[in-house]
Structure 1
Amino acid sequence: MDGPTVDAVERVDDEMPAPSWVRRRLTGVGGYARRNPVAVGFAAIVLVASALSGALEGAHVPDALGWGAMSLMTPAGWWAAGTSLIVPDSPVDAIVSLILALTVLAGAERILGSARTVLAMVITGLIALFAGATVQLLLSDTPEVSAAATQATVLDPAIMMAGALLAASGLAGALWRRRIRVAALAVLGMFALYAGDVDSWYRLLAALTGLGLGVLFARGVPRRPWHSSSTRETRSLVATIVAVTGLGPIAALVAGGGRGPLSLVATSFAQFDQKIVNRCAAQYARVCDHEFALFVTRGVGPALLAIVPLVLLVVAAWGLRSGRRAAWMIAVGVNASLAALAIGSLVLGDVTFTDPAGGAAFEWALWVISAMGVPIAVLVTLIVTRRRFLVRAPRAAVRTLWSTIGTAFVMCVVVFLLVESLFPRAFGVQPSPADLFVEAVRRFIPPIFLEGFGQTPYPRQGAGLVVYQWTGVVFWLVAVIAILRLYRATTRSGGAAAESSTRYRELLRRGGGTLSFIGTWRGTEHWFSDDGQAAVAYRVEGGVALAVADPLCTAERAADTLRGFAEFAISRGWTPVFYSIHDDYLPAFAEMGWHVASVGEETVMHLPELEMVGKSWQKVRHPLNRAEREGMTAQWTSWRALTPAMASQIVAISEQWVTERALPEMGFTLGGIEELTDPDVALLLAVDAHGHLRAVTSWMPSWRDGVLVGWTLDFMRRDAAAPNGVMEFLVAKAALLMKQQGLELLSLSGAPLAEKPLADGEAAPEPTTLSSFLGWLGTALEPVYGFASLFRFKSKFHPAYRTLYMAYADPVSLPAIGSAVGRAYLPDASPREYVTLIRNLLAGPATTTGGPR
């Protein structure tokens, strides 16, 4: 589609030197500060307050200055409320607060505006402080709540930022409104319920206050409905729930066991149970052997093995987002195991709580809820929503998963047995072969599932202890990586490729865009509507379904076709993206609430009005006339009609170009030799007076109601010895020939990352982050692929410009989309070639000069 790179045409026009790196960075920082004054100002306030209070140096702030004593039972002074909201309580808290201010708060400010952001921060912060202090006061006499929780002071700048973020969600678009609320409340709720520190509860109170404030802000504001499939929303919600149940206990463990109402479950994933160890000091039981062994052999390895169930829940949540059936099965298996374990422990009497007068009944109830109720509730949720998770991997990928896991298990067992047999002195008690085999199997099972099953001899030092601690961790690491790789494999659309291609070509002859023929290329798959009257060509890269060019459908079916393909992609766990589409479809995407970005410009010549006269056409007429005087001829043909000698020359010219490049030939929307062999593709050759091939172009057809209406330029190569202007000669000849045949248009295809010239009096659009990045990328890639030079070459023919767009539903997916587009364009690039490309990008824009060759 996008035509040649710079060496197929000529580099022309000097480029202005780029501004210095420092100047560009300072300009960017200044622009960021002007767009986000509240966020930058609040970050500065937090930084100053951290320095003055000693938080950056690790000082205990309340003891040092009396700031932030917000229990309100014994306030330090009138300044307590203010300092609680701007002073962090540690260096880590200060760094996190600065990062949140410059990212999360800046995002909220862009939605709310500066004035409403300040209002939201003040209102939600003060309400959270006084409501939280009131709750602390009411709970101060409750025996089940520790005195530390009711008398703790609060120092957390994130309180106001949480409130502002949730308030901003009320004015956000449908997609971001749901995403902000689900993600923020899930994270805040997780820390409150599991870690349980007082700051976490204040942040949650501020967020709930901001949620209500956002509703007030949004009164009277028209809402755009969210048109994406409810399947996607359900998957996201279920994935969030599963992720919280996995990350919550981890957060509690990191917080030293946690103090939240659900934190009791965290003790189940520790290396050993301190309560049982203490009880065993007074009275021996079989479980004591196991707990003492864990106590003696504790370390990083056993700690990681203990949280394997939680890690598997997080891994499952990742797959649930894209509807993976394997992730659903993992989540069901882990939650069912945890629920069964909790029920078994309760029935067998392994769970006891002492000191009934101190609140044992309350503690018992919380344990039942966290250890038994949470996994059962998640299990029920997964079963109810099971039809939303039907994306399966191909059988070959499943076989690869199980063979990888099986091989890892066998190798780990062999290594364990071999090392432990070589170092028997590491054991306090001489182990028998049976003991070693039993312990080899136990090394893969998290400690939570082994309590009460006794303990075989264990090593206490040396290599034997290292292998003992890390064998299971290595196995589960391999298993997790294999599962994540399985998520990337998806069964493609049904139907034979040949039949699909035939159906697509039938619709293409009925009518398609100037670039729709790309959908016939190898590696492209096809989606068809239920009635078979609409189609979309796409390819899947890294979980992203790249629909290339305009869909094949009538104008009145455009919106339904776009939605249909999007739902099809989402149902298979892919991210749908439309690439290189025209502005005819922008209204439909606007209705869907999608985002669009310009990715290039197509140049089109309307043949009926074509007249190569006047001074403006001299750059075309001069090489055309000179080539004809020198005996150059243009031959319109096809690959099948070529002589073997001529076909060999075309291959040789193309291979010569490829071998001179540091990077391989591009694909995706750029055709190569293989695309030239299609019987529907035409070739226009430049042959000199001696019969030598000097240049070749290929042309893709466009039909309407079965009638040919135009051609689109694709492949362009020229011989190293070709005279200057040979490409102008071929394109001009093609235009004149097509006009004689009565065709309507000639498309010179698209120039990636190009921007059409502004008309007189037309203002440039407001730059966005994405457009600025694409502009930088196009300039940086110019020395490698010459996109700008290509665009200037096409501009010689005074074409009409048609902007090509990329449409996507979710800005968060842009990194994955960019990676997918890169892999699609460079499918055969080696790691070394990618390094070359990165070096070119890091080198920055280069000045390219040159003239016609």
Structure 2
Amino acid sequence: MSVVGERAAVSRAEAAPPRWVRPPSARRVVARLVQFTGAAGAVFSVLPPRHHHVSMLAGMVPTAGLVTARAAAALVGVLLVYLGAGLRRGKRRAWQLALVLSLVSVALHVVKGGLVPTVFAGGIAALLVAERDEFTAAGERRNRWRAARACVTFLGSGFVLGFAEIAVRVNRLDRPAGVLGWAEHAALGLIGVSGPVHFRSPLGALTVSLTTGAFGLLAFASGAVLLLRPCTGARPGAGDDQDRLRAVLDRHGAADSLGYFALRTDKQLVWAPSGRAAVAYRVVNGVSLASGDPLGLPSEWPRAIGEWLADCAAHGWTPAVLACGTAGGRAYQRAGLDVIELGDEAIVDVAGFALQGRPMRGVRQAVGRMRRAGYTCAVVRQRDLSAETLAEVVGCADALRDGKVERGFSMALSRVGDPADGDCLLVLCRDGDGALRGILQFVPWGRHGLSLDLMRGDRSAPNGLTELMVVSAIEAAPGFGVERISLNFAVLRSVFARAEELGAGPVVRLWCRILRAATRRWQIESLYRANAKYLPDWQPRFLCFPSARDLPRIALAALSAESFLPARGARAASPA
């Protein structure tokens, strides 16, 4: 090969964006062995000791210390099992904790007796040292302070309680030890070691040892768990990123109806090196959850995806994409992720929509009934509303919310009335007395489309309120230069559609029954029915993920992001 050819090959290799690859086999093996050793150590610790398994240190360690050592060994085993997931994702901090815990496990098993678990723990420590270069994913720096606070809190509480228990038993001591002796005894009890205080009653000594030992274990366990909490990355919503993203959406926003939702304040952005494409995501419980297609120039999508995947690998996150379109699904598939169909998006062609005809009879009757009852709708851009009307809209959106949490992530903006969203289109429905009874908010989809964001209606209003607002938006759309409108997303719509067809198989019918049961909680079928009545075009949406074993974690992360599951620090709903 010529020098020019070699340089071109090198240039192409350097320009090729990174792909998602499965964790190295060595890392997976280490993670499984650590979990096996932890489980075995925990089991050996709770099993009754055999007569010939007597601790070599039995003469040096009191009975309470042996009990504490057994409890600590069981806890260490459980923590090693817990660390397996972090090790599989290559987390450096998980490796550090696993190494420390394995060495602690060796010491504890020596104290309480048990050759087999001691050998297992020592072997795992040696293996972790040998494979240390496989674990490089960064952790969250703030977790160090959270872990330190938890440790100090539990250790301080255990020390105070142990000291107090000694003080109330001062008349039951064999000999005076002084206040410093009490403090020394309480402090040593936190690590399961007997101190200088001697009680007349064995029960008193055991009580103090169990109290301080329990708090010591709690301090250790809580610190380890908090230290391993997933990193969430940089703070979202940076002003510069928002300005860049709005410029990208202005040029390329017509590609995806979900593009505008990337402007949510809880989403972060990772950009292609050229700055002409980006991936919007949020980290939820160790899952980097992107939504929709990549943003920007399609030819730059692979590089933006590569930067996002590299960021996931650097932090030990599991990458996943929620509700991307066909073009985005192909791009993510080329980057190494698996793709399955998640559902369909309902898109109404404004020019082809009409209320005439038998299929539209139900919608037509609902709209006519509401108009005869005196209900009217005003369709207006947010920027054209007066301050008083906008305040009324914000208050009404807050009052009509179902629950205290603003639901939505992939297809929701989760705010109303923000001055930056002046291009949003609002449908305001009032009754015959002029009271505001319903609101729809549509976000821009390029320059000639809208995407439904917010739907609020007064539950005491007659049936047909939603139909009136949707039809009013479609009828007014040509005046705003809108050619297409994206309505709600229907999860697994094809299952319901196939179940209604002649000759549907038993698997499809069973799957449909399962989804109908789930509809009681998550409105899966009702959303499909609500969209289907407008005779939309259905565009598939997909879920992208690394491997099938990650799907449970991804499903929980998606449900938490959409606020269908309670999450730590869940943001309270705010209309503004």
Range into which the TM-score falls when normalised by the shorter chain: 0.7 to 0.9
State the 1:372 CA deviation. 6.1
State the 1:252 CA deviation. 4.8
Indicate if the aligned counterparts of 2:499 and 2:512 stay in contact, CA closer than 8 A.
Answer: no
**Is 1:392 paired with 2:392?**
no
Indicate if the aligned counterparts of 1:426 and 1:462 stay in contact, CA closer than 8 A.
Answer: no
Q: Which residues of 2 match residues 94-109 of structure 1 at below 5 A? A: none
**Is 1:812 paired with 2:562?**
no
Which residue number corresponds to residue 326 of structure 1?
Answer: 93
Quick one: which of 757, 762, 768 aligns to 2:497? 757
Q: Deviations for 1:666-713, whole angstroms, at most 9, x for unmatched residues?
A: 23246477245322311122346665444322111112xxxx121112
State the 1:817 CA deviation. 2.9
Which residue number corresponds to residue 234 of structure 2?
Answer: 493
**Is 1:793 paired with 2:520?**
no
Quick one: which of 414, 417, 422 aligns to 2:168? 422
Indicate if the aligned counterparts of 1:605 and 1:799 stay in contact, CA closer than 8 A.
Answer: yes
Q: Which residues of 2 match residues 122-161 of structure 1 at below 5 A? A: none
Indicate if the aligned counterparts of 2:289 and 2:321 stay in contact, CA closer than 8 A.
Answer: yes
Which residue number corresponds to residue 745 of structure 1?
Answer: 484
State the 1:729 CA deviation. 3.1
Q: Which residues of 2 match residues 34-53 of structure 1 at below 5 A? A: none
Which residue number corresponds to residue 32 of structure 2?
Answer: 240
**Is 1:301 paired with 2:68?**
yes
Q: Which residues of 2 match residues 643-658 of structure 1 at below 5 A? A: 643-658=386-401
Q: TM-score, normalised by structure 2?
A: 0.78
Structure 1 pair 754–428 and aligned structure 2 pair: CA distance change class (3 A): farther
Q: Distance in 2 between matches of 1:245 and 1:336?
A: 12
Indicate if the aligned counterparts of 1:229 and 1:567 stay in contact, CA closer than 8 A.
Answer: no
Q: Distance in 2 between matches of 1:812 and 1:474?
A: 36
Q: Distance in 2 between matches of 1:399 and 1:762?
A: 62
AA at the equivalent of 1:730:
M
AA at the equivalent of 2:550:
S
Q: Distance in 2 between matches of 1:474 and 1:769?
A: 54
Q: Distance in 2 between matches of 1:828 and 1:248?
A: 33
Structure 1 pair 503–635 and aligned structure 2 pair: CA distance change class (3 A): same
Q: Distance in 1 between matches of 2:342 and 2:248?
A: 26
State the 1:461 CA deviation. 1.4
Q: Distance in 2 between matches of 1:600 and 1:647?
A: 34
Structure 1 pair 372–694 and aligned structure 2 pair: CA distance change class (3 A): closer
SS at match of 1:801: strand
Q: Distance in 2 between matches of 1:312 and 1:620?
A: 58
AA at the equivalent of 1:398:
R
Indicate if the aligned counterparts of 2:237 and 2:266 stay in contact, CA closer than 8 A.
Answer: no
Q: Deviations for 1:320-377, whole angstroms, at most 9, x for unmatched residues?
A: 34444433332344556789x89xx9xxxx9xxxxxxxxxxxx9xx999768665344
Q: Distance in 2 between matches of 1:772 and 1:632?
A: 37
Runs of at least 5 residues in structure 2 that lack an aligned partner in the other structure: 1-17, 571-576
SS at match of 1:526: strand
Structure 1 pair 712–461 and aligned structure 2 pair: CA distance change class (3 A): same
**Is 1:616 paired with 2:389?**
no
Q: Deviations for 1:795-829, whole angstroms, at most 9, x for unmatched residues?
A: 22211112333232233334433332332233796
Structure 1 pair 464–724 and aligned structure 2 pair: CA distance change class (3 A): same
Q: Which residues of 2 match residues 47-86 of structure 1 at below 5 A? A: none
Q: Distance in 1 between matches of 2:119 and 2:457?
A: 73
Q: Distance in 2 between matches of 1:726 and 1:469?
A: 64
Structure 1 pair 391–640 and aligned structure 2 pair: CA distance change class (3 A): same
Structure 1 pair 807–676 and aligned structure 2 pair: CA distance change class (3 A): farther
Q: Distance in 2 between matches of 1:804 and 1:682?
A: 24
State the 1:746 CA deviation. 1.5
Which residue number corresponds to residue 61 of structure 1?
Answer: none
Which residue number corresponds to residue 449 of structure 2?
Answer: 710
Q: TM-score, normalised by structure 1?
A: 0.55
Structure 1 pair 419–231 and aligned structure 2 pair: CA distance change class (3 A): same
Q: Which residues of 2 match residues 605-644 of structure 1 at below 5 A? A: 605-624=348-367, 633-644=376-387
Q: Deviations for 1:550-578, whole angstroms, at most 9, x for unmatched residues?
A: 22255555566545434423432322221
Indicate if the aligned counterparts of 1:666 and 1:825 stay in contact, CA closer than 8 A.
Answer: yes
Structure 1 pair 544–771 and aligned structure 2 pair: CA distance change class (3 A): farther
Q: Deviations for 1:24-77, whole angstroms, at most 9, x for unmatched residues?
A: xxxxxxxxxxxxxxxxxxxxxxxxxxxxxxxxxxxxxxxxxxxxxxxxxxxxxx
State the 1:412 CA deviation. 1.6
Of 296-305 and 759-768, more deviation after overlay is shown by 759-768
Structure 1 pair 563–429 and aligned structure 2 pair: CA distance change class (3 A): same
Q: Deviations for 1:586-631, whole angstroms, at most 9, x for unmatched residues?
A: 4455566755454443111123444444333333444556666777
Quick one: which of 455, 473, 476 aligns to 2:214? 473
Indicate if the aligned counterparts of 1:676 and 1:698 stay in contact, CA closer than 8 A.
Answer: no
Which residue number corresponds to residue 515 of structure 2?
Answer: 775
Q: Distance in 2 between matches of 1:568 and 1:559?
A: 14
Q: Which residues of 2 match residues 365-384 of structure 1 at below 5 A? A: 375-382=125-132, 384=133
Which residue number corresponds to residue 846 of structure 1?
Answer: none
Structure 1 pair 698–760 and aligned structure 2 pair: CA distance change class (3 A): same
Aligned identity (percent) is 22
Indicate if the aligned counterparts of 1:637 and 1:683 stay in contact, CA closer than 8 A.
Answer: yes
Q: Distance in 2 between matches of 1:811 and 1:504?
A: 32
Q: Distance in 2 between matches of 1:765 and 1:486?
A: 50
Q: Distance in 2 between matches of 1:766 and 1:504?
A: 47
Which residue number corresponds to residue 582 of structure 1?
Answer: 325
Mark the structure with the bigger radius of gyration: 1
SS at match of 2:445: strand
Quick one: which of 572, 589, 601 aligns to 2:344? 601
Structure 1 pair 426–629 and aligned structure 2 pair: CA distance change class (3 A): closer
Indicate if the aligned counterparts of 1:338 and 1:375 stay in contact, CA closer than 8 A.
Answer: no
Q: Distance in 1 between matches of 2:462 and 2:473?
A: 18
Q: Distance in 2 between matches of 1:526 and 1:719?
A: 36
Q: Distance in 2 between matches of 1:759 and 1:469?
A: 61
SS at match of 1:228: coil
State the 1:537 CA deviation. 1.7
Q: Distance in 2 between matches of 1:531 and 1:486?
A: 36
**Is 1:443 paired with 2:443?**
no
Q: Deviations for 1:428-459, whole angstroms, at most 9, x for unmatched residues?
A: 66545554444333323367xx9xxxx74554
Flag the structure with higher helix content. Answer: 1
Flag the structure with higher strand content. Answer: 2
SS at match of 1:674: coil
Runs of at least 5 residues in structure 1 that lack an aligned partner in the other structure: 1-225, 259-266, 278-287, 351-362, 834-853
State the 1:653 CA deviation. 3.5
Q: Distance in 1 between matches of 2:524 and 2:118?
A: 64
Q: Distance in 2 between matches of 1:312 and 1:243?
A: 9
Structure 1 pair 621–467 and aligned structure 2 pair: CA distance change class (3 A): same
State the 1:235 CA deviation. 4.5
Q: Distance in 2 between matches of 1:723 and 1:302?
A: 68
**Is 1:516 paired with 2:259?**
yes
Q: Distance in 2 between matches of 1:564 and 1:458?
A: 63
State the 1:830 CA deviation. 9.6
Which residue number corresponds to residue 55 of structure 1?
Answer: none
Indicate if the aligned counterparts of 1:583 and 1:805 stay in contact, CA closer than 8 A.
Answer: yes
Indicate if the aligned counterparts of 1:232 and 1:570 stay in contact, CA closer than 8 A.
Answer: no
Q: How many residues align?
A: 541
Q: Which residues of 2 match residues 160-199 of structure 1 at below 5 A? A: none
Structure 1 pair 772–815 and aligned structure 2 pair: CA distance change class (3 A): farther
**Is 1:273 paired with 2:51?**
no
Quick one: which of 408, 419, 423 aligns to 1:680? 423
Q: Deviations for 1:151-188, whole angstroms, at most 9, x for unmatched residues?
A: xxxxxxxxxxxxxxxxxxxxxxxxxxxxxxxxxxxxxx
Structure 1 pair 537–510 and aligned structure 2 pair: CA distance change class (3 A): same
Structure 1 pair 313–428 and aligned structure 2 pair: CA distance change class (3 A): farther
Indicate if the aligned counterparts of 1:247 and 1:310 stay in contact, CA closer than 8 A.
Answer: yes
Indicate if the aligned counterparts of 2:42 and 2:76 stay in contact, CA closer than 8 A.
Answer: no
Q: Distance in 1 between matches of 2:508 and 2:324?
A: 20
Q: Which residues of 2 match residues 177-256 of structure 1 at below 5 A? A: 228-229=20-21, 235-253=27-45
